[in-house]
Amino acid sequence: MSTALVNDPATPTRGARGTQLLGALLRSRELAVLVVLLLIVLGTTLKSNGFLFSSDGFRNLLVTPSLLLLLAVGQTLVIVTRNVDLSVGSVLGLTAYLTGRLFADNPGIPVIAVFAAGLAMGALLGLVNGVLVAFGRVPALVITLGTLYIYRGIFLTWAGSDRINASDMDPGFLALGTRSILGIPVLTLIALGVLAAVGYYLHTARGGRELYAIGSDPDAATLYGLRVTRRVLVAFVLSGALAGLAGVVYAARYGTVSSGAGSGIELQAVGAAVIGGVAIFGGSGTVWGAAIGAFLLVTINRALPIVGISDFWQRAVVGALILAAIVLDRVLANRQERRLREQQGSSAAEAAPPGPDGPPVPAGPTDPTTHHDEEARA
């Protein structure tokens, strides 16, 4: 039996599988963005050695994108369901100020309790978004734009002109912003741990695959019996929780929290996800790509002043990257759709019964989650 399987021409050999894997890797958006990132780092380092080889150059390269990475990962969870969360910047500011207030009002409070409080508050704010979007059937763009201003207003009312300083917070907590393990900053390790966990969930868990299926075709997902409302709700809660975690990380990283914390960073989070290959129309993309997109955006902002490009052009370059990513996404989506139609046409012709008068056999319904897998492999 095993000999038959080995000799079966339909069974791909190990070499063929390796070729397919290499081809898929070379076609991946994540690899292209990573190459651009490495070229920027290389070019900027050649221009100024201090960018990478100064006393804190390599450290800043790793730790500065950690905040945006957390937000981009949460944003990816929402975008793949064909939604968006514009309130993450305000959630970050609120939880960062909460972190400072907990330390200022409760001296000696355990650090782990502060992390738990930040996660819980972020999840609660994300739950509000999720309930309004999933049950209210209102576009996420409108809902989260409204909560962006509501959460920011609550933050401004709560903080006022008050400012949390480093002296208000626990020294052990502030040490997280400067400590490293094996040369890698602790805050970066936290962000990478979250990235690995969410990436594993999206790639292997049925719930994660269903998020892609919902984003690919919400109507088909509903007809197939997927729990669309619950999945969308969970996506917003997770996005809010990660924004809350980012707020705690913000307090540890900078040591001070003012009413401007997190202002405008929500657009960077969406931009990082889109540049990293997450389709703005849902259904495809990975957190790995969003993470690389976050590193790329932050690195560009640090690199352009070194090569003498003004602040205006820095913003213009980021905008051009986002537009290029969206155009590329549409071009690739159209090519994939055309390829799938050709494959379905070939399969229908092969499945049709013999004889000149025999009607073609229609294809039956398929599992939306496996349909997405087939699209991804194509």
pLDDT band at 364 (very low <50, low <70, confident <90, very high): very low
pTM, two decimal places: 0.82
Tell me the DSSP string of 254-305.
Answer: HS-B-TTTTTTHHHHHHHHHHHTT--TTSS---HHHHHHHHHHHHHHHHHHH
Residue 358 has pLDDT above 70, yes or no: no
Q: Work out whether strand 180-181 and strand 184-185 pair parallel, antiparallel, or are unpaired.
A: antiparallel
Sign of CA dihedral 302, 305, 309, 313: positive
Among 239, 231, 189, which residue's Cα sits nearest to residue 89? 239
- Of residues 325 and 234, the one with the higher pLDDT is 234
Tokens encoding 184: 């890698």
What mean pLDDT value characterizes the chain?
84
Tell me the DSSP string of 133-154.
Answer: HHTT---HHHHHHHHHHHHHHH
Among 73, 105, 263, which residue's Cα sits nearest to residue 170? 105
Percent of the chain with pLDDT over 70: 85
- Write out the H or E segment, with its range, that includes residue 172: helix 171-175
Q: Please give the pLDDT value at position 73.
A: 96
Residue 189 has pLDDT above 80, yes or no: yes
Residue 223 has pLDDT above 50, yes or no: yes
Taking residues 124-144, report their average pLDDT. 93
Q: What is the C-alpha end-to-end distance of the chain, expressed in Å?
A: 30
pLDDT, tens only, 280-291: 888 888 999 999
112-118: list long-range contacts, CB under 8 Å, 24+ apart.
114/173, 114/248, 115/245, 115/248, 118/244, 118/245, 118/247, 118/248
Backbone angles phi, psi at 180, to 5 degrees: -130, 155
Cα distances from 46 to residues 23, 59, 298, in angstroms, run: 31, 18, 18
Q: Please give the pLDDT value at position 143.
A: 94
Q: Please give the pLDDT value at position 371.
A: 46
Residue 26 has pLDDT above 60, yes or no: no
Among 101, 124, 128, which residue's Cα sits nearest to residue 114? 101
Q: Please give the pLDDT value at position 108.
A: 87
pLDDT band at 112 (very low <50, low <70, confident <90, very high): very high
CATH of domain 46-338: 1.10.3470
Taking residues 164-178, report their average pLDDT. 89
Q: Please give the pLDDT value at position 347.
A: 73
pLDDT, tens only, 82-108: 999 999 999 999 999 999 999 999 888
pLDDT band at 13 (very low <50, low <70, confident <90, very high): low
Place of tokens 């969870």: 77
Q: Please give the pLDDT value at position 4.
A: 44
pLDDT, tens only, 191-217: 999 999 999 999 999 999 999 999 998
Domain boundaries, the chain: 46-338
- Write out the H or E segment, with its range, that includes residue 253: helix 228-254
Cα gap 217→228, rounded to integer Å: 11
Sign of CA dihedral 220, 225, 229, 230: negative
Sign of CA dihedral 83, 84, 87, 93: positive
